[in-house]
């Protein structure tokens, strides 16, 4: 699947069917990304990265949705780990940004129950 339909959410002309179409499209896009890259997006994970020592726990998110859902045409995927359970100094960022190529190991901590 190479093309993603993108819907705009118009808050000025709010209607339920438009919002539902946007939600459905967004869900479909995320499922397609999950299937193509086999990365547990939007879930709590433990990640080991090539450029940072140790394991890091947090919620995995995209920093940018790929314009094309095709691993060969759009790689690597741009990701962010929103860190949890850690204290930060003022001015420190509570997340790590990286690409799918930087992942050494990733473990889903709360697997979805079918």
Going 60 to 35 to 64 to 42, the CA torsion angle's sign is: negative
State residue 37's pLDDT score. 85
State residue 114's pLDDT score. 45
Q: What is the mean pLDDT of each run of 10 residues along the chain (114 residues)?
A: 56 69 83 85 90 89 81 82 65 79 90 54
∠ at Cα 92 (37, 34), nearest 5°?
Answer: 10
- For the chain, what are the domain ranges? 39-108
Q: Tell me the backbone φ, ψ of residue 51, rounded to 5 degrees.
A: -110, 0
Q: Indicate the pTM of the whole model.
A: 0.66
Tokens of 84: 């949890």
From residue 81, give the alpha-carbon distance in Å to each of 33, 52, 58, 103.
Answer: 17, 13, 6, 11
- What is the CATH number assigned to the segment(s) 39-108? 2.30.30
State residue 49's pLDDT score. 94
């Amino acid at each position: 699947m190479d093309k993603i339909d993108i819907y705009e959410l118009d808050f000025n002309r709010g209607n339920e069917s438009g919002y539902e179409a946007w939600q459905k499209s967004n869900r479909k896009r995320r499922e397609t990304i999950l299937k193509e890259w086999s990365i547990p997006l939007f879930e709590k994970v433990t990640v080991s990265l090539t450029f940072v020592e140790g394991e890091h726990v947090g919620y995995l998110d995209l920093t940018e949705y790929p314009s094309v859902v095709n691993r060969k045409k759009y790689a690597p995927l741009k990701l962010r780990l929103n860190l949890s359970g850690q204290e930060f100094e003022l001015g420190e960022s509570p997340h790590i940004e990286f690409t799918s190529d930087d992942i050494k190991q990733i473990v889903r901590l709360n697997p979805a129950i079918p």
